[in-house]
Amino acid sequence: MDKQNFRSQDFRGYKQSIISKIDEDLARTGSKTSCGEYLRCYWHPVALTSEVSETPKEIRILGEDLVIFKTTMGNIGLVHKACPHRRASMVYGKTEDKGIRCCYHGWLFSPNGEILETPGEDPDSKSATKIRETFKLGAYPVIEFNGLVFSYLGPMDKIPEFPQYDAFEIPGNTSSPYRINYNCNWIQVLDAIMDPVHTSFLHGQSSGIQFSEGFAEVGEIEFYERGIQYLGCNTRRIDDNVWIRVNELILPNFTQAGAAFAADGTKSKYFGRSSFTRWVVPVDDHHCVALAWANFGERGDPIEYNNQEGFEKIEAGEIANRTLLEQQKSPGDAEAVEGMGSISTHKGEHLMPTDQGVMIYRRRIRKLSKDLEEGKDPPQPQIKKGEIVRTNGQDTVLRAPKRNKNDKEFVKSICSSVMKMQFDLENMPLKERDSAIINNLHKMEERGNFDGL
């Protein structure tokens, strides 16, 4: 082929060789960055309870090097890695009843960072008395809950109530804590939850069937913005059934979806709950971690997936630690998001209508981060103190044969009716809400009336 023929084909590599910029407002999460300060307004899981022991463990969260430990009395502490005396690492500290003792000079710190002892110094000297009274090792409050350790890394005069979600206690469910590490920026992982169309391709076509055959169907996409809750619905036609799968994000990083393996759209299902209850937490700008519970039972996933391999498949569609060839043949979420680079060059994206969920939640985080810089605190998941936050991540499958009209519009209308019904029951007492939703779905299906009750 001669030079002229190459020119006629309009190769654009050279024209587009300039590397696009990253989205600094979202990708940077260290201390004093716009998004980093926003994230520090919330509680985040930072470790599995099973990882915390009397042997100190080094962790990194939001770009900070920290040490987590358990005293010999069973109290958990989360402190800065560097001892304030001579900067020795507290990961080599020795845990005791009252706290952790630095290996270098024996200073003893309580879990809240208080300096309890400076044994190499005269305890009655002015300098020793002053340091104990005026200085502390940097420390953060922690709450251990159901196998996860949560912490608040923001200013203590702004500490919020620890949020309780309805998904924490679903009757009949078995929930198992897990962690999955990602070698990329947190936004790349979080984006996937507001991208319901990706499940049809990555998990159903590109890589073969990773969950069930129904995932390969490309459904009708709808998005809902409700305060700081964002819902992305992929509603699929499976023969005579309509399968409504709802992905959920509650800012800044709480995520749920439908079941991974328990639903395929072939049989009726009423308000099945999420395969995971999950947070995507920045480790630093180039790494993040999913800390979560995998949910098993009648309304979750099959109990046979309650193991490490099952957690990995539920989280990403494939197991971790595969060869490059295996990853290329069957990429999962990890390959998709890590393949963008450790920080995606977001400015080079070409967003489309199916990316609406990604666009609206990113825009909201930017706005809330900007508001915080101007002195306005961001909203918390619970609107009223002490309330349990209602969630909507789910699977519903209803028998709804095609009618003599535009089936796509019919399918979309079913999704709209189901979601409106759920929202209308939002303020019901928690113990009654799930039953009411399930009963209403039964009635919709029995009557063949999907325009509401």
In a domain, 29, yes or no: no
Examine the domain organization and report whether 333 and 410 are in the same domain. Answer: yes
Examine the domain organization and report whether 71 and 204 are in the same domain. Answer: no
Q: Is residue 35 predicted with pLDDT exceeding 70?
A: yes
In a domain, 1, yes or no: no
Examine the domain organization and report whether 335 and 426 are in the same domain. Answer: yes
- CA–CA separation, 166 vs 164, rounded Å? 7
pLDDT at residue 217, as a whole number: 81
Q: How confident is the model at residue 119 (pLDDT cuts 50, 70, 90)?
A: very high
In a domain, 64, yes or no: yes
In a domain, 398, yes or no: yes
What's phi and psi for 428, nearest 5 deg?
-65, 155
Phi-psi region of 209 (alpha: psi -120 to 50; beta: other; left: phi over 0): beta
Query: Can you give the pTM of this predicted structure?
Result: 0.94
- Determine which helix (DSSP H) or strand (DSSP E) holds 233, and give its type and residue range: strand 229-238
Domain end residue (candidates: 114, 135, 158): 158
Q: Is residue 453 predicted with pLDDT exceeding 70?
A: no
Measuring CA to CA, how many Å separate 181 from each of 46, 189, 421, 432? Answer: 12, 10, 37, 37
Examine the domain organization and report whether 215 and 351 are in the same domain. Answer: yes
For the residues 395-404, what does the mean pLDDT come to? 92
Domain end residue (candidates: 158, 187, 212): 158
Q: How confident is the model at residue 22 (pLDDT cuts 50, 70, 90)?
A: very high
pLDDT at residue 1, as a whole number: 55
Measuring CA to CA, how many Å separate 161 from each of 21, 41, 93? Answer: 37, 11, 31
Question: 176 is written with which tokens?
Answer: 């198992």
The total domain count for the chain is 2
Question: Which residues are CB-contacts of 318 (< 8 A; sequence separation ≥ 6)?
Answer: 207, 210, 312, 327, 330, 331, 332, 334, 335
In a domain, 293, yes or no: yes
Examine the domain organization and report whether 146 and 170 are in the same domain. Answer: no
- CA–CA separation, 58 vs 394, rounded Å? 36
Q: How confident is the model at residue 62 (pLDDT cuts 50, 70, 90)?
A: very high
Examine the domain organization and report whether 136 and 242 are in the same domain. Answer: no
What are the counts of helices (DSSP H) followed by strands (DSSP E) for the chain? 12, 22
In a domain, 416, yes or no: yes
Examine the domain organization and report whether 247 and 172 are in the same domain. Answer: yes
pLDDT at residue 243, as a whole number: 95
Domain end residue (candidates: 158, 187, 208): 158
User: 379 preceded by cis ω (within 30°)?
Assistant: no
Q: How many residues does the chain have?
A: 453
Examine the domain organization and report whether 294 and 150 are in the same domain. Answer: no
Measuring CA to CA, how many Å separate 255 from each of 161, 164, 165, 191, 391? Answer: 19, 14, 11, 11, 10
Domain that holds residue 418: 164-447
Examine the domain organization and report whether 372 and 229 are in the same domain. Answer: yes
Examine the domain organization and report whether 272 and 338 are in the same domain. Answer: yes
For the residues 202-206, what does the mean pLDDT come to? 77
In a domain, 23, yes or no: no
Q: Is residue 122 predicted with pLDDT exceeding 90?
A: no
pLDDT at residue 128, as a whole number: 85
Q: Is 264 exposed, middle or buried (0-12, 13-18, 19+ CB in 10 A)?
A: buried
pLDDT at residue 290, as a whole number: 98
Pairing state of beta strands 164-165 and 388-389? parallel
Query: What tens digit of pLDDT does each residue of 165-179 get?
Result: 999 999 889 999 999
Q: How confident is the model at residue 411 (pLDDT cuts 50, 70, 90)?
A: very high
pLDDT at residue 5, as a whole number: 78
Examine the domain organization and report whether 285 and 406 are in the same domain. Answer: yes
pLDDT at residue 405, as a whole number: 80
Examine the domain organization and report whether 188 and 110 are in the same domain. Answer: no
In a domain, 12, yes or no: no
Q: What is the CATH number of the domain that holds 390?
A: 3.90.380.10
Measuring CA to CA, how many Å separate 168 from each of 14, 275, 282, 315? Answer: 52, 13, 22, 18
Q: What is the CATH number of the domain that holds 137?
A: 2.102.10.10
